[in-house]
Amino acid sequence: MKYSILRTLSLVILSLTVVLPLIAQNQDSKASSAIAGLASDIRGCKNMRIEFVYKMDNESSKIHESKQGTLLVQGEKYRLNIEGQMIINDGKAIYAYLPEAKEVQINPLDEDSQSLTPTGILADYEKKYRVKYIREEKVGVRNVMVVDLIPKEGKKFFKVRIRLDTRTRQPISFAMYEKSGNVFSYEINRLDQNIAMKPGMFEFKTTDYPGVDVVDMR
């Protein structure tokens, strides 16, 4: 569960920092400098807070799960709270805390975990994905653009489908389709940028959790 959430966590950030400028590039013939400026503005966001509903479905296995969560992102760091667990990347290690088990597992930042950070995702993204325009549709009162990200190299997933509000250019939902039949999706209920955050939001201190069992995998 932890790693499936971590994989799809990267796509939240990807949709916010990569897809918007790419769509603009595909739909608009403005000068590349204007596109670069738009991308710079999006990537220059100080921090983000996202409220979402996470779903995991597999029709053949009759699996249907749904959880609510909150994601905070600031630079290379993030804090993910989802029913039953909290995951923190403090820029040095990843802490996965399970309150019911009173256990925290500490893992090093390897190549995969680094790829979940904004910088890691943005690195050579044009070489990693092909953007495919699908259609425009109506969702309630909103006009929505549907776009697929197709990985150019072998991945566990074969596409990421993203729905964007054409007026605000913010993502409404996205889903990652794995070759195994698993579909991991997020519906974004709220997205705030450049908000005030309390100090220590991206730190895990064992002193704040008396009796916690520490499993250090570093």
Report the distance separating Cα 177 and Cα 157, nearest Å: 5
H or E element, residue 25: helix 20-27
pLDDT of res. 101:
92
pLDDT of res. 33:
37
Count of structural domains, the chain? 1
pLDDT of res. 98:
93
DSSP state at residue 93? E
CB 147 within 8 A of CB 166: no
pLDDT of res. 39:
46
pLDDT of res. 9:
61
Nearest to 215 by CA among 57, 106, 113: 106
pLDDT of res. 34:
31
Per-10-residue mean pLDDT for the chain, 218 residues long?
54 57 49 38 75 90 91 86 89 91 89 51 60 83 84 80 78 85 89 89 93 92
The residue range of the domain holding 183 is 2-216
Report the distance separating Cα 213 and Cα 211, nearest Å: 6
Whole-structure pTM value: 0.75
pLDDT of res. 32:
33
Q: Which residues contact 134 (CB under 8 A, 6 or more apart)?
A: 146, 147, 148, 161
pLDDT of res. 24:
54
Residue 132 belongs to domain with CATH number: 2.50.20.10
CB 108 within 8 A of CB 218: yes
pLDDT of res. 96:
92
